Amino acid sequence: MHSLHLRSLKNFCDKIASFRSEHIFIIFAFILGMLFIIITPPAQAPDEFTHFYRAYQLTSGEIIASKRIIGEKAEVVVGGNLPRSIAVLLDAVALRGTSQHTMLLEDLITAFKIPLEKNKKEFTYGFQNTVLYSPIPYLPAIVAIKLVKNKNWSVLAIFYFVRLCNLLSWLIITYYAIKIVPILKKTFTLIALLPMTIYQSAAVSADPILFASSFLLISLILSFRFKKSHCYLSDIFLLTVVAVTVALSKNFYFPLLFLALIVPKDRFASKNKYFFFLFSTIIIPITLSLCWSFLVRNIYVPLNGSEPAKQLLFVINHPLKFIHIVFMTASAYKFDHFYSFIGKLGTFNVLLPFSYYVFALISLLLIPLIESLRFLFSSKLAPKHFLSLKEIIYFSLLFSFMFVFIYLVIYISWTPYATWPFLHGIQGRYFIPFAFLAIISFYGIIISFKFKKSTNFSNSSLTLPLFFNCFLSSYLIVFAIVSTFVSIKSMLLHFYYGNL
């Protein structure tokens, strides 16, 4: 009888463990993403309409925006010739981030009737924060708008179609990234299933392509690192395309490209191929990013009262003081940064229940730990599946550098001058593309222990790795269900039932 129970338990664990991470991801991310698309009012994701302006501008062939001087105060603005109906739609439906307003369904239905009128254009500005973006992160939006703007769709219908295309693009690329990542696959999936990750990926934004390409870049490089055979030119070409996408989506994520340095030389047939690999995945993307920055240098307008030249000079002259300010800011705003990493929805005005943030924190600590223990007790792992101490240190240093670098970029480009002792404008979502590096750094020491062991509970061959797989798959499913319920409930209460 005892043996029968163990066999039944093993069969149950086998069934649960057979749920692949990428399948769990695609099902639940699609469900939550579609719900976000439907219930999120227009312009209620960060900078959503400024991204829509930029995407539409690119479909009209205006790759480089125009700079003009307007008004009696000779204000310098950057923009382009866009259909006036887009601004009309924004005025009709945007809540502009105010927490006390709700969305009336009647207003939304009326807004769907606003025609595009693509030939009635006027110079539109007010999206200085997105005009510097290259066309790369807007490729799904460009395709979406091109497909339907000649089919008499309303502006709002096009807007929602762009959301859908962004979501689908992110889903497909991230699905592949999860499928090929060789270590901590469940942890990788967990990051992709965070409400903030899905929310931004279901919005009109540059983030869907940035998130997806960053995830895929990390997965490809790690797969090269753990690959038993040589890397081929086709592998290098794919990684180069992804690296260029990351560098041209948001240029301040270029340090992520240096993750390629963890790939050993023996993964290539010769030294020349290895150096070609580094040239293709680091030098070419950075060069293209610099070329784009050079092309748009003349249309740059300082944002939010920042003075980039002065602020950069301060950092150069006082690097230690700047590092101190970074840590002071991170300490003072640690909860806000964490909330906006896990899920601070809307225009950062929709908080999830505090208990959910605790649950998410426990998940981010527990899942990597259990997954690392699974590696530890697996009998199928070869020595090449483990990380060296040097690699763990490198992951830590790269993450730390990117963390500080994000603060540096936001300080120079967004923080008003002389607002010490804190920097302003940092959002937790900025850390999503490289958060996996921090987890590898923290838990890599466990999977670096180079011994293999398989422990049987009985003659039933129910091993610890199988139990761990069963637990991890079950936990991911529970996490996705809880995230969906909590996120959608919070959104509905905020935007549609706020007056009750």
pLDDT at 228: 77
CB atoms within 10 A of CB 205: 28
CA distance 71 to 67: 14
pLDDT at 229: 79
Decide if 457 is inside a domain: yes
Burial class from Cβ neighbours inside 10 Å (0-12, 13-18, 19+) for residue 114 reads middle
150: enclosing H helix or E strand? none
Of residues 486 and 126, the one with the higher pLDDT is 486
Buried b / exposed e along 50-77 (16+ C-beta atoms within 10 A): bbbbbbbbbbeebeebebeeeeeeeeeb
Q: Does the pLDDT of residue 499 top 70, yes or no?
A: no
pLDDT at 306: 76
Decide if 5 is inside a domain: no
Phi, psi of 83 (to 5 degrees): -60, 135
Q: Which residues make beta-bridge pairs with 67? A: 78
pLDDT at 10: 62
pLDDT at 8: 63
CB atoms within 10 A of CB 199: 27
Of residues 98 and 212, the one with the higher pLDDT is 212
With beta carbons less than 8 A apart as the criterion, state whether 43 and 90 touch: yes
Gap between the terminal Cα atoms of the chain:
57
pLDDT at 417: 67
pLDDT at 17: 61
Instruction: Give the range among 123-137, 273-287, 305-319, 475-489 with minimum mean pLDDT.
Output: 305-319
Alpha helices by DSSP H, listed for 65-194, are: 84-93, 105-111, 139-148, 155-180, 185-192
Decide if 160 is inside a domain: yes
pLDDT at 490: 94
375-390 pLDDT per residue, tens = 766 655 544 556 778 8
Average pLDDT, integer, range 219-231: 88
The winner for highest mean pLDDT among 287-301, 305-319, 440-454, 485-499 is: 287-301
Decide if 497 is inside a domain: no
Decide if 424 is inside a domain: yes
Q: Does the pLDDT of residue 334 top 60, yes or no?
A: yes
Q: Does the pLDDT of residue 33 top 90, yes or no?
A: yes
pLDDT at 254: 93
pLDDT at 491: 93
Residue in 162, 206, 275 with CA at minimum distance from that of residue 47: 206
Q: State both tokens at 415.
A: 């923080």
Phi, psi of 67 (to 5 degrees): -110, 135
Domain count, the chain: 1
94-119 pLDDT per residue, tens = 654 444 456 667 777 788 888 888 88
pLDDT at 465: 67
CA distance 248 to 256: 12
Q: Which domain holds residue 481?
A: 11-492
Decide if 420 is inside a domain: yes
Decide if 498 is inside a domain: no
Q: Does the pLDDT of residue 453 top 50, yes or no?
A: no
- Whether the ω angle into residue 421 lies within 30 degrees of 0, i.e. cis, is yes
Give how far Cα 3 sits from Cα of 151, 259, 346, Å: 66, 48, 53
Is the model's pTM score more than 0.85? yes
Decide if 73 is inside a domain: yes
pLDDT at 457: 40
pLDDT at 91: 75
pLDDT at 82: 87
Rounded to the nearest integer, the mean pLDDT of the chain is 85
Q: How far is CA 385 from the centre of its chain?
A: 26
Give how far Cα 283 sits from Cα of 135, 225, 247, 299, 435, Å: 20, 19, 11, 26, 23
CA distance 79 to 2: 73
